[in-house]
Amino acid sequence: MAFNTQRLQFAGHSGATLAARLDVPNGSLRAYALFAHCFTCSKDLAAARRIAAELAREGIAVMRFDFTGLGSSEGEFASTNFSSNIADLLSAADYLRQHYRAPSVLIGHSLGGAAVLAVAKDIPEVRAVATIGAPADVGHVLKNFGTSLEKIEKSGAAEVDLAGRTFLLRKQFVEDARSHRIKDAVASLKKPLLILHAPLDETVGIENANEIFLAARHPKSFISLDKADHLLTDIDDAAFAGRVISGWLTRYLAADTAQGTGVIEHVRVTETGEGKFQNSVQAGSHRLFADEPVNLGGLDTGPSPYDFLSIALGACTSMTLRIYADHKKLTLGRIGVDVSHAKIHVKDCEDCTEAERSASGRIDRFERVISIDGEVSGELRSKIAEIADKCPVHRTLEAVAKIKTTVK
């Protein structure tokens, strides 16, 4: 399912304007999810974008936002702490509740995972919670401060280098982090919990996942992210996490509506905003993607335009032959049609007339190979080739078509 991304703004806990993005499915909408990013990260982290995209394709709208003082949000980061992150999450949930629908899913990455565990009890509409690389103790984040932690405790504030960026942190942040008991929140969660963690995570060790899992009540699930790093910098790892979360959520959310919803009388092709060439295709009640291969700059998420032409020829050929066999009461085995497309020089066209080969330039050539299960006589084989040439799409491709274009 295709989706579109909307830019939003809402007031955070302190009144500062927070920047958000809402990835909304173009088709049926099953639920809204709220995504909390990792410590000092932003809503635009590659992993956050990909996970949100995977959920949106499954009919789940995802709002991801920058906490106060981070990314594109207003406010002073030095004045924030874990408690303010929780307050920002509540503000985000209120915004969704007032303007769209309250979130029924919470997803948190790293410290954002700890935040959604802590806040879940305060959002009654939440039906399921998922964490990625979350610490079992908020104080775990203080280990990343190194020698700066001692400076903060002595002087009240210090600059801390985190992932190549410098942040001013105050003593109130440290004291607030130490005051939270995430495992207590997990024990009283009373909501389905999915824990995703990488065994090789060097930032938040795998033992944190074990502690959270043991503290949680059933239903609870754990998925290993194998060789992924903490930030899921490999996009395949992020995509896997997104697919696992969306699959797990099928047990706790309303089922997706049938594909037949929202029938149109024609074919509609719309850019999704994902990748350079990906388009959503709706034909009647059916939905799929059109794209280009990776080597041409696409994501390879669907057939290319010329692939669709080949599909049309192959499908039409098979259907035409089946109609003929039924009409003639022929016992014809399963029909298969392989179609390949190429652009060739006119002079190399074996099936072209002398007059056609004398022209310059290239032409489109579709090569069709028909296979029939079982024995087929030579006479019937010739008839099959003759009938295949009468398929409507075959005739359309060989004729000169007219295309009328209107720009609205």
- For residues 155 and 229, the model is more confident at 229
Label the pairing between strands 105-109 and 128-132. Answer: parallel
pLDDT of 262: 62
Of 32-46, 154-168, 202-216, 288-302, the poorest mean pLDDT is in: 154-168
Q: Which pLDDT band holds residue 44 (cuts at 50, 70, 90)?
A: very high
First to last CA, the chain: 25
Q: Which pLDDT band holds residue 156 (cuts at 50, 70, 90)?
A: confident
Rg (CA), the chain: 28
Work out the average pLDDT over 153-170. 80
Q: Which pLDDT band holds residue 2 (cuts at 50, 70, 90)?
A: low
pLDDT of 1: 55
Task: Read off the pLDDT of residues 50-89 as tens digits, 9 standing for 90 and up.
Answer: 999 999 988 899 999 999 999 999 998 888 899 999 999 9
Instruction: Identify the structural domains of the chain with CATH numbers, from first to last.
Output: 3-250 (3.40.50.1820), 305-398 (3.30.300.20)
Task: Read off the pLDDT of residues 244-290 as tens digits, 9 standing for 90 and up.
Answer: 999 999 889 876 554 445 677 889 898 877 778 988 888 887 878 89
Task: Read off the pLDDT of residues 332-383 as tens digits, 9 standing for 90 and up.
Answer: 899 999 999 988 876 667 666 666 666 667 778 899 999 999 888 888 999 9
Q: Which pLDDT band holds residue 98 (cuts at 50, 70, 90)?
A: very high
Q: pLDDT at residue 240 above 90?
A: yes
pLDDT of 285: 75
Task: Output the average pLDDT for the chain.
Answer: 89
CA distance 85 to 177: 11
Work out the average pLDDT over 155-162. 82
Separation in Å, CA 80 to CA 91, 131, 194, 393:
15, 22, 28, 64
Residue 356 three-state SS: helix
3-state helix vs strand vs coil in the chain, percent to 5? 35, 25, 40
- What token pair was written down for 83? 């408690």
Prediction pTM value: 0.66
Q: pLDDT at residue 123 above 50?
A: yes
Label the pairing between strands 165-170 and 157-162. Answer: antiparallel
Share of the chain above pLDDT 90, in %: 60
pLDDT of 256: 54
Work out the average pLDDT over 27-36. 88
CA distance 389 to 227: 53
- For residues 229 and 168, the model is more confident at 229
